[in-house]
Amino acid sequence: MSQSLPLTPDIIGRALDNAKLTPRLKFIIGVAAAGFLFDSFDITIVAYALPKIRQEFNLTPQEVGLAGSAALAGMGVGSWCWGWVADKWGRRVVFAATVLMFSLFTGVVGLSMSLGFLVGARFLTGLGLGGMVPIDQALVTEYAPASIRGRVAAMLPLCWPMGYFFAAGCGLLLVPEIGWRWLFAIGVLPALLVVFIRRGVPESPRWLASQGRHEEARASLHYVGVTDPEIEAARAQVAKEPVKPKVADPTFADLFRPEYIRRVIHTWVLWFCAAFAGTGFAVWLPTIYSTYYHIDLTRTLLYTFIVAGTQVVARFCAFAVVDKVGRKMLIVIAYGMSGCAALSFTQATTEMTLLAAAMFFSFFQDIGNLAMTVYTPEVYPVQIRGKGAALAMGWGRFGGMISPLVAGVLISANSITYVWCIMAAFLFTASGLTLLMAYETRGNLELVSREA
């Protein structure tokens, strides 16, 4: 009889909080983490191809900025559009569709014979890239037990710099020898991930319950090892808690109600500022090394490979402490330190000091990025989690889109010092705003999203 009783996100959340990290749950996390790695690889390879693309197509600094920004523009649109689809049709279908889209169009970029073709293909690549990250993160967030949710959710952004590292390594090996187009050919491989998504990743039980699909939600819980007795124990726990006032389910318009507006303002500005600084740095660094500081292409790609390795180390450090230190404090400290590192570029005059500044910047920037990615979906309730996280990350994409364009204009005017100062200003804004407006989000997901 208990199996016919309806499930609620509160009951499912309590059941998952008491659950073990089973092999199937590990598989879901692993597939989602692979999605992050491939996403970051496909968005980053353009940075390592740009020095050669600039030569082949005879691009101005403004056109280089346009080529670097095109995918970010698509990611902004994709983040916004796919969030609605995920809240209406589910996380799993969007995860598969976006991976397939960005993989195929990455391969199309390698066929480019003009700047216009390249920009268009990169924009369409970005449409898929932008939708994958917030929905992938939301799916894993809704499966993870509270006691390890920070570390589980952090495993996804932990893989982001691994994609950078892989892209930098491929750029170092391929671009000087056989050209830039092979980078984008390799970028088609993530399409194979769709097979694993369709076969081994069920829909989020929290989302299914919010849609009234209770038996499917129960089946998803069974899939990850949560038994019916454990579900009923969770139901009993929830029943003992004080009765909460009945409120209407949140809608998109509720994002702008007084109880949500603070977190909306914070997450939107946070993502915009962090992405403006981080994307401008990632897209332009190889080109700045080779053109502004006149470092040869091979050493340029070697230095960016080392910087990418620093990012991997940073994510592992953040992963180890995100549940202990908390999301808020990591964001505040990390973006404050990376802002200081951005200013240190203005005093760097040798290859080694430039490399040290880049490593310092990347280390703290990536710690902040991991904490921010874990934090964002946690502050929104399940009914608007997809839209809330996607909109915030969408503003990040637009910040990332504008940044290479602004850097291109300043570099063409021989004003690279202003590039570093602007990046520092945005990072200090992200840090300070988080200190003033953010909530700590450790604990039961339903409680923190409701009380934040």
Predicted confidence (pLDDT) per residue in 384-410, tens digit: 776 777 788 778 878 877 887 787 777
- What DSSP letter does each residue of 317-333 carry, written as one string? HHHHHHHHH-HHHHHHH
CA distance 65 to 90: 35
| CB-based contacts of 236, cutoff 8 Å, min separation 6 | none
Token pair for 326: 């908390």
Evaluate if residue 332 carries a pLDDT over 90. Answer: yes
Q: Report CA dihedral (180, 186, 191, 193) to the nearest 10 degrees.
A: -140
Instruction: State pLDDT tens for residues 269-303.
Output: 999 999 888 877 777 777 777 777 777 777 877 88
The whole-number pLDDT of residue 1 equals 42
Domain with 111 in it: what CATH number? 1.20.1250.20
Domains: count for the chain: 1
- On whether residue 446 sits in a domain, the answer given is yes
Evaluate if residue 79 carries a pLDDT over 90. Answer: no
| CB-based contacts of 267, cutoff 8 Å, min separation 6 | 375, 376, 379, 388, 389, 392
- On whether residue 248 sits in a domain, the answer given is no
Evaluate if residue 181 carries a pLDDT over 80. Answer: yes
Secondary structure of residue 431 in the 3-state scheme: helix
pTM of the model: 0.69
Evaluate if residue 198 carries a pLDDT over 60. Answer: yes
- On whether residue 247 sits in a domain, the answer given is no
The whole-number pLDDT of residue 251 equals 64
- On whether residue 206 sits in a domain, the answer given is yes
- On whether residue 173 sits in a domain, the answer given is yes
Secondary structure of residue 179 in the 3-state scheme: coil
| CB-based contacts of 143, cutoff 8 Å, min separation 6 | 16, 25, 28, 29, 152, 204, 205, 224
The whole-number pLDDT of residue 280 equals 75
The whole-number pLDDT of residue 273 equals 93
Evaluate if residue 19 carries a pLDDT over 90. Answer: no
- On whether residue 1 sits in a domain, the answer given is no
Give me the residue label for tokens 């080109």.
287
Averaged confidence pLDDT in the chain: 82
Q: What number is the average pLDDT over the span 369-380?
A: 84
Using 50, 70 and 90 to split pLDDT, how confident is the model at 364? very high
Half-sphere CA count of 122, side-chain side, radius 13 A: 28
| Least-confidence region, from 86-95, 180-189, 209-218, 381-390 | 381-390
Instruction: State pLDDT tens for residues 184-194.
Output: 998 888 888 88
| Least-confidence region, from 116-130, 155-169, 365-379, 437-451 | 437-451
Distinct helix (H) and strand (E) counts, the chain: 18, 0
Report which listed range, 127-131, 159-163, 323-327, 426-430, is most confident: 426-430
| Least-confidence region, from 126-130, 205-209, 251-255, 379-383 | 251-255
- On whether residue 2 sits in a domain, the answer given is no
- On whether residue 246 sits in a domain, the answer given is no
Residue 20: give the domain boundaries.
Answer: 8-241+253-451
More confident residue, 175 or 123: 123
